[in-house]
Structure 1
Amino acid sequence: MKTIALVAGGPKEYLPKLTDYHHQNVTWVGVDKGVLYLKNSGLPIAYAFGDFDSISDREKKELTSSLPNISLYSAEKDKTDTELALDWALQQQHEKILLFGVTGGRIDHLLGNIHLLIKAISCKTNIEIIDRQNHITLFASGTYTIKKHKDLKYVSFIPISHEIKGMTLEGFKYPLKNCHIALGSTLCISNELIDELGTFSFHDGILLMIRSRD
């Protein structure tokens, strides 16, 4: 599966081991300080985006002279560096986009980055946020199957739209049948798969699925 992996400049302690996600079909993209994270991990940097206001002038000069594909932006702009990079990634029409370094730190950036997942719906591209403890994906209405994961024990579903209609969970510790879930509800937080495969379905709305470690 062709994948673009964007690494932004969120707190380093939230990053998983990036090399675990490297394979021949991954294109690595650095966003602002995330370029340094990629460089320090020894991963190939295909593209770089950002105003680079979170690194030193010396580091910025080294990057601009050593990276063949770098897009520099002013610090005063209408989109964050991460959104600019994600918009470019969506134009490449790859099957999957992974976002690293977009959690932790400032809550405004965190919430903004989570809402960027909404772009996946219109573009029909799988976009996933991954950090050291969580995997976050957004879903429009439909029926989906997920596998049990030995490390990601907890599965939570959080409404993003005003309401989730007809939510059904099968193969879970706490099943549901045709349940309506309002925005702001915590009903579907900290569920667990009891079968090797579980299904979730709903017929209207948009929700986040968050799979988390202990």
Structure 2
Amino acid sequence: MKILLVAGGSPNEWPQFNSEGFDYNLGIDRGSLYILDHGWSLDLAVGDFDSLTNDEQQTVQKQAKELIQAQAEKDDTDTQLALALAIQKFPAAEIMIIGATGGRLDHFLANLWLPLEPRFQAFARQIKIKDHQNSIAYYLPGDYVIRKETRMNYLAYCCLTPVKNLTLTESKYTLDHVDVAIPTSYASNEFVGETAGFSFDTGMIAVIQSRDDK
């Protein structure tokens, strides 16, 4: 099963994707309105909806199949709440989050770090964050081969935590069993073919495929 989470970032920054490839659409605050604006089914709307006018809130309330309204002052961000609900409903699903990278930096960092939370760590491999320039996937310790995504020119290995024995192969820049003591981004790497390999023993890594904004 595939779930689409739409946060409140501008649709101008969305990636290219086929909306019909998703089985369940979850709108986060203003993202709920964006789903409706595109004519998609709004299966669940989540958030405090403080970014919507009264008329927009009424539109979401009328058209959402299910709505969960949160308090404006709460421990979780709307995106944290939405991800928790998505995992609770569909623990085996693949989850793509869009509209989560533009705008405020504090919001972006909160979204980037979502899989580090203990409640989400076991599901890290199922979560992806995408926009028109970037595709972010999360990895727990292991040995992996990844495939180059269409139109993406750059490859980065972002150690979100200290990492042991990081090895990078089949890429322009390689590493051999390196221990990473602090969060570090090995940025601006590149595929040399259609696939690249990496492995590590501890921690969590976000692998980012990206392109210039042209």
Same structural fold, with TM-score higher than 0.5 when normalized by the shorter chain: yes
Q: Which amino acid aligns with 2:140?
A: A
Aligned counterpart, 1:189 = 187
**What is the deviation of 1:11?**
3.0
Distance 1:156 1:125, change over 3 A: closer
Counterpart-to-counterpart distance in 1, 2:148 and 2:21: 26
Aligned match of 1:146: 146
Aligned with 2:146: secondary structure? Answer: strand
Matched residue count? 209
Q: Is the 8 A contact 2:125 2:140 kept in 1?
A: no
Residues 117 and 128 in structure 1, CA contact (< 8 A), matched pair in contact too: no
Same amino acid, percent of matched pairs: 35
Retained in 2: the 8 A contact 1:4–1:94? no
What is residue 65 of structure 2 aligned with on the other side?
68
TM-score, scaled to structure 1: 0.91
What SS does the corresponding residue of 2:116 show, helix, strand or coil?
helix
Q: Which amino acid aligns with 1:130?
A: K
Structure 1 pair 24–151 and aligned structure 2 pair: CA distance change class (3 A): closer
Contact 2:45 2:60 in 1 (8 A): no
Query: Which residue of structure 2 lines up, in the alignment, with residue 8 of structure 1?
Result: 7
5+ long unaligned stretches in structure 1 = none
Return the match for 1:202 from 200, 203, 210: 200
- Matched with 1:39 is 36
Partner letter of residue 190 of structure 2? E
CA contact (8 A) 1:97 1:127 kept: yes
Do 1:3 and 1:94's aligned partners in 2 also have CA atoms closer than 8 Å?
no
Tell me which residue corresponds to 2:77: 80
Q: Which amino acid aligns with 1:174?
A: Y
Equivalent in the alignment of 2:167:
168
| Structural RMSD (CA) | 1.7
* Distance in 1 separating the partners of 2:83 and 2:184: 29
CA contact (8 A) 1:165 1:180 kept: yes
SS at 1:38's partner residue? Answer: helix
Q: 1:202 to 1:51 in 2, by over 3 A?
A: same
